[in-house]
Amino acid sequence: MKIERKSFGTIKKTGQEAVLYTITNKNGASVDLSTFGAAITSIKVPDKNGKIKDVTQGYSSVAPYEEAPVGHAGGTIGPCANKIDNGTFKINDKEYKLECNKDNGKTHSHGGSDGFDVKNWNAEVLKDGIKFTYNKKDMESGYPGNVKVSVTYKFDNDNKLHIKYNAESDNDTLINLTNHTYFNLDGAENAEENSVLNHIVELENSSHYTVNNEIAVPTGEIASVEGTPFDFREERKIADMINKKSNQLEIASGFDQNYCVDGYDGKKMIKIAEVKSEKTGIKLEVETNLPGFQFYTANHLGKSAQPEGKDGKRYEKRSAFCIEPQFYPNAVNTDAFKEKPILKKGETFDREIIYSFETDD
């Protein structure tokens, strides 16, 4: 395993240097990781013809990651991924108020504008990966507790990327960490609108999803996917499902829904997604020990003045998909959601995501 280090540019806000690490395995497959956001900026894997393809959207320096008005591309999301209604939550009967940075000031999303994906993390080089660490101060971004967080990426010769999340706090707090990589298995250079719709998706362990209100905050209802456009328990093309009549799809302008993981126990790794490109033969499998995941078809890309991506193209609407393992959105405020993203003082948050890449000949 070869690990290289280079400058990724200067962070405008702090003047710090962002560093980019590249892990390359014996197959010539590689993963690029940035200290800014503890982010995945590139995953390059072989297609069915043995040609190396970059399958993740991203940028060629740190500047666009600071400037992009939408995205969180590849970043480590936290302290709490997804939405918190009204930006308020209670722990031990004490109410906390967070920045409402989404839905015209109605929700707190993805840790706010000063979340983990815009922090410059410390990096430790391992023999087969990188361990990023960040120490969040008490009440930073409105969240209680001094929290020590680590994200460890390990890439192996089977083209599997293991992501391990660890956190400890000196006070009860919220922790819900995920990764926000945008994938296009045809190749990330396919940046045009709707370029992800021919991907084939199977979500075999998701028989239920959480129903959203008009601003895409869960109502507390958990519904069966049976007979809905959200039923991917068998292989389906995104194009065959995304335009079906559904108020849930209309709210999000496509797929942007939390799925519930069947068989979840908080420990065992469960396969939650398999996505394939017929064009390249590249297949992505996702496993996790988190209770839910967001399936998102990048419906909000292209709306703003997005910077050019690393291929010199602007990423347009539905040009990628995300699979974001997580606790259910707004779980801290929703009685019906039993699994809460609350980290108790003295306990350890320990969760994992695995992205595995293969080819179908």
Strands 76-77 and 178-179 turn out to be: antiparallel
8 A C-beta contact, residue 267 and residue 339 = no
Q: How far apart are CA 193 and CA 202, in angstroms?
A: 22
User: CA angle, 21 as apex, 49 and 163 as ends, to 5°?
Assistant: 75
8 A C-beta contact, residue 296 and residue 321 = yes
Which CA distances in Å does 3 have to 22, 124, 132? 5, 11, 15
Which CA distances in Å does 345 have to 233, 290, 312, 356? 38, 20, 46, 34
Active-site positions read 180, 324
Nearest to 154 by CA among 129, 124, 122: 129
Q: Which helix (H) or strand (E) segment is 6 a member of?
A: strand 2-10
**3-state helix, strand and coil shares in percent for the chain, rounded to the nearest 5:** 5, 40, 50
Nearest to 183 by CA among 1, 356, 7: 356
8 A C-beta contact, residue 318 and residue 298 = yes
Q: How far apart are CA 351 and CA 145, in angstroms?
A: 19
- Phi, psi for residue 187 in degrees, rounded to 5: 120, 135
Classify the C-alpha dihedral 313-314-316-319 as positive or negative: positive
Which CA distances in Å does 195 have to 26, 82, 243, 318? 30, 25, 15, 6
8 A C-beta contact, residue 108 and residue 100 = yes
Neighbours of 233 (CB within 10 A): 15
Half-sphere exposure of 250 (CA within 13 A, CB side): 6
